[in-house]
Amino acid sequence: MANNVSETTTDTHFATLAMGLQAPMPIGARSRWQRVLALPAYHWLLIAEVIVIAPHAAHLPLWLIGFALISIAAQLPAIKRAVRRYGPLKRWYQGVQMFGFLLGLLGLWLTYQTAFGLDMGVAFLVLCLVSKLWELYQRRDAYVVLNLSLFVVAALFLMNQGLLTTIQAVAGVLTVLFAFIALNDDGNAIGDGRLRSLGILTLAALPLLVVLFLFFPRLPPLWSVNLSGQQAKTGVSDSMSPGDFANLSQSTELAFRAEFTGERPAQNQLYWRGLVFNDFDGVTWRPHPNDTMWRSGESAPLWLQQAVGSVPEAEQRSLEQYRIILEPTQQNWLFALDYPLPSDGSAALTSNFTLRNREPVTQQRRYDVLRAQSMRIDTELSERDERINVTLPSSGNPQAHALAKRLFAEAGSDPVRYVQALERIIYQGNFRYTLSPPPLGDNRIDDFLFNTQAGFCEHYASSFAFMMRAVGIPARVVAGYQGGRLSRGGGVWEVRQLDAHAWVEVWFAGQGWVRVDPTAFVAPERVESGMDAVTESQGAAMFGDGAGAQISYQQYQMLQALRRFSDQASYYWQKDIVGYDQDKQENALLKWFNIRSMTEQLLWLMGSVLIVATLIVLSIWYRRRQKWHPADRPLVQLSKQLAKQQPTLARQDSEGQLAWLARLATSTELQQHAEALMTTAQHYRQLRYGRLSEKDIKDADYQAALKQLRVDVQAVYKQSI
C-alpha cells in the first residue's frame, strides 16, 4: 500500500511539471550542489537531453540542432505555463508538436538527398528523440525518452571512437542513468542517496565491462558504412599555391603517427610523401590525372618492376616495415616515407609512388608500409611524361625566365651545376624563411624571387620547380610532411599539421627523379631539426612583427603543449583500447590465460561473467543485510532457535526486545525459566539503555556485560530444550 502511494505521488509530481503546472521545489537541500542533485526528475531529463544531443552538433545539420534546442526549451515548465495561459501560443505549440516530425523528415531528405546512409540514420534517430520531447507528459513518456537517449549516445561511436568521443558518451550515459534514478526517486526533497545509487550502478558495471572487453570475440564487421557530407580536414589539399601552407604551419593538430619496429630514420630523411603536383598554371600546382594504380597481390606493372629492380637485392630482402596511424582527412591519399611499397592490398600505389585509399579516410586509418631507401623511379622518362613535367604557362614571370636562361647558360647547360647555382643565389641572397610572408602579385614567381624574397616551403618549392622547367629540366612538386617529433613516451613519431611541407623532384638522366628541397637552402634547420626547432629558435619573429606576433607565439606554445598531452592520451586510447583487435586479443589471451581456441575463449567469457555477477549479487546482499547491535545479536539468535521448537515464541517484527523477553517469562512453555529471562533482560537494559550504553563497545566493562548476556541467553536456550 505504501509503495502504491509513493508511486502515485511520483507520477503526480512528474506530470505536474510536464504539463507546465506549478510544483513545489525542493526545500530540504542546503548547499548549491545539494539543490542541483535534488532537482525533480523532469528537470534532470531535460539536462540529460542537452548533454546527449550536444556532441552530435559536430556532424548534424544546423537546422536539426536548432530544432533540438527549441524543443528542449519548449519543455521548460515556465514555457509550458505560458502556453497554457495564452491561446495563440497553445495553438502554435500544438502545431509544432504535430508537424515538427514531418517537416524534420523533409529537412533530412533535402539535406542528405537519400533515405539511407550512416549520417542520415543518426540524424533520423536524433529527430525521433527530439520529436518525442513534444509528447512528454507522463512518466512512461520519460522512460521512452531516456531509453531512446541511450541509443543516441551509442550512435556517437558510429562517427568516431576517439577518447574525446568516449568521454562525451560516458557523460551522456551517466546523466541519463541519474535521470532514471531521479525518475524513481522524485519524492526525495533533498536528493539524498541519488549520487550513491549512481556510483553503485557504475562500479557494478565496470567488472563486467572489463570481462567483456578482454574475452568477447573480436569478430570482423558484417558490413561497412561510409560517412558523407563532411568537409576536408587535412592540411594537405589537392592543389598548392604560395600562401596555403603558411597559415597551416601554425596549427599543432595531429596529422598522423608512425610506429617503427626497427631503427628510426634520421630527422632529415623523414619526408612523408602525399601528393605529386605536375600541372602549373602560373599560380596553382595540381596533380596531373595520368596516374596508374597497383595493389599488392597484383602483377607488377613495368614502372614498378623498373623501380624495384633498381633496389639492391640485399635491401629487397630486408625492406623496413612501419605502421602509419592516420587521423581522419576525408580524402583518399595516404602518407608514407620515400619510397613506399604497400605491404597488403589495403592501399594502392600510384605511378608517382604515392599511396591511395579505396575510400576517403573518414575514421582513424592504420596501414603498414614497406620502405625502400635506394629506389630509383622513372630512370627512363617517356616523351609524354617529360612534356607534362616541363610545361609552363605561355606568358608571365619574365624576370624568372630570363634569370633561368642566364644561369643555365653559365652552368654550361649542366643540370647539376644549374641546381648548385640556384642554391647559391638563395643561400647568399636576402631570402628568409617566415610564417607570415608578404602577399604576392600576378607574377608570383617574379614577385617572390626579386621583390619579397620571404616565404614558406611552397614559395621555395614552387619557384625552384618553375626555374627548372624554364630551361627544359623536368621537375615537379611533392606535397606532404617533413619531420615530426617523438611522443612524450618516446616510442612513436608524431607528425602534425605544422610539419606540412613541399619539396621538389628533379629528373636527371640515368638517375630518375631526385629529391631537392630548396627550403633547406635558406632554412636548413627546418629539415635537420624539424619545424618545432625553427619556431623555438626564431620565437615570435616567425609570426611577424609587433605585439600581435608575440601573442600568436604565446598562444602557439600553450596550445602546442595542451595538444601534445591530449594527443598522447588519445594515442594510447586508440592503440590499446580501440586498436584491441582480433590479433591482439588472441596474443593477449594466449599469453595471459593460455587460451588457444574459440571454445576456450567462450568458456572463459561465460565463467568470468558468472563469477563477476555472483560477486556483484553477494556484494549487494552484504551491503543490504540486516545489521544488529552487539547486544541484540544474541537475542536474535535466541529467537531463531526458539522458533524452531515453537513459532509463537519467536519475536515479532513490531515487538521490542524487552517486551519480548517479558512475554517469554510469562509464557507457559518457558515459565520455569522466568528468572533467567529476567536476568537476561536486566543485562540487555544495561547495555542498551543504562550506564554501559554510553561506553565504547571495546570497553572492558562493556565486553564483560556483553559476555554475561551471551551466557544468559545460552543458558535459557539449553534449559528450554
Across 38-47, average pLDDT: 87
Percent of the chain with pLDDT over 70: 81
d(CA 271, CA 717): 90
At 455 the pLDDT is: 83
Helix %, strand %, coil % of the chain (to 5): 55, 10, 30
Provide the mean pLDDT of the chain: 80
Give mean pLDDT, residues 511-539: 71
The position carrying cell 600546382 is 285
Which of 448, 330, 462, 340 is closest to 393 using CA atoms? Answer: 462
* CA separation, residue 43 to residues 13, 14, 48, 174, 439 (Å): 12, 10, 9, 15, 55
Q: Which of 13, 401, 459, 501 is catalytic?
A: 501
**Alpha-carbon distance 528 to 269, whole Å?**
9
The set of cell numbers assigned to 80 is 509550458
- Which segment of 105-119, 127-141, 662-676 scores lowest on mean pLDDT? 662-676
Pairing relation of β-strands 454-455 and 475-482?
Answer: unpaired
Query: Each residue of 337-357: pLDDT tens digit?
Result: 988 888 877 889 999 999 999
Give the residue from 217, 203, 199, 181 showing the smallest Cα distance to 612.
203
Q: Which of 67-81, 479-493, 541-555 has the lowest mean pLDDT?
A: 541-555
For the chain, what are the domain ranges? 2-192, 244-570, 632-720
Based on the residue annotation, tell me whether 128 is a catalytic residue of this protein: no
Predicted confidence (pLDDT) at residue 540 exceeds the cutoff of 60: no
User: Across the strands, what pairs with 516?
Assistant: 504
**What are the angstrom distances between the C-alpha of 288 and each of 239, 279, 393?**
11, 6, 15
Of residues 3 and 416, more confidently modeled: 416
Mind listing the pLDDT tens digit for each residue in 593-626? 888 788 888 888 888 889 888 887 887 777 766 6
C-alpha cell at 6: 509513493
pLDDT for res 548: 58
- 534 pLDDT above the threshold of 60: no
* Least confident among 44-48, 158-162, 174-178, 522-526: 522-526
Run of H or E residues at 476: strand 475-482
| Sheet with strand 365-371: strands edge to edge | 340-342, 365-371, 320-326, 254-260, 493-496, 485-486
Residues 215-266 have pLDDT tens digits of 888 765 444 444 444 433 335 777 887 744 444 445 667 889 898 887 788 8
Q: Please report which helix (H) or strand (E) contains residue 516, including its range.
A: strand 512-516
Q: Given this model, what pLDDT does residue 251 score?
A: 64
Q: How much is the pLDDT for 419?
A: 94
Nearest to 185 by CA among 333, 365, 39: 39
Q: What is the pLDDT of residues 177-204, one digit of tens each?
A: 999 988 887 666 676 778 888 888 888 8
Residue 51 has pLDDT above 90, yes or no: yes
- pLDDT the model gives residue 472: 94
Q: Is 702 exposed, middle or buried (0-12, 13-18, 19+ CB in 10 A)?
A: buried
Please report the pLDDT score of residue 645 as a whole number.
80
Neighbours of 512 (CB within 10 A): 18
CA neighbor of 387 nearest in space, from 312, 296, 307, 288 = 288
Span 632-648, mean pLDDT?
Answer: 83
Strands (DSSP E) contained in 278-403 are 279-280, 285-286, 293-295, 320-326, 333-334, 336-337, 340-342, 347-350, 355-357, 365-371
With a cut of 50, say whether residue 2 has pLDDT above it: no
Q: What is the CA radius of gyration of the chain?
A: 38
**From 338, 385, 517, 567, the catalytic residue:** 517
Does the annotation count 517 as an active-site position?
Answer: yes
Q: Among 338-342, 431-435, 482-486, name the one with the lowest average pLDDT.
A: 431-435
Q: Is 457 a catalytic residue?
A: yes
| Helices 118-133 & 62-74 angle (0-180, nearest 10) | 20
Express each pLDDT in 571-594 by its tens digit. 567 666 766 767 677 777 777 888
Q: Are 369 and 336 in contact (CB under 8 A)?
A: yes
Which is more confident, 284 or 530?
284
Residue 567 pLDDT > 70? no
Whole-number pLDDT of residue 244: 47
What was the pLDDT predicted at 222?
A: 44
Looking at residue 229, its pLDDT comes to 42
What does the pLDDT read at residue 475? 95
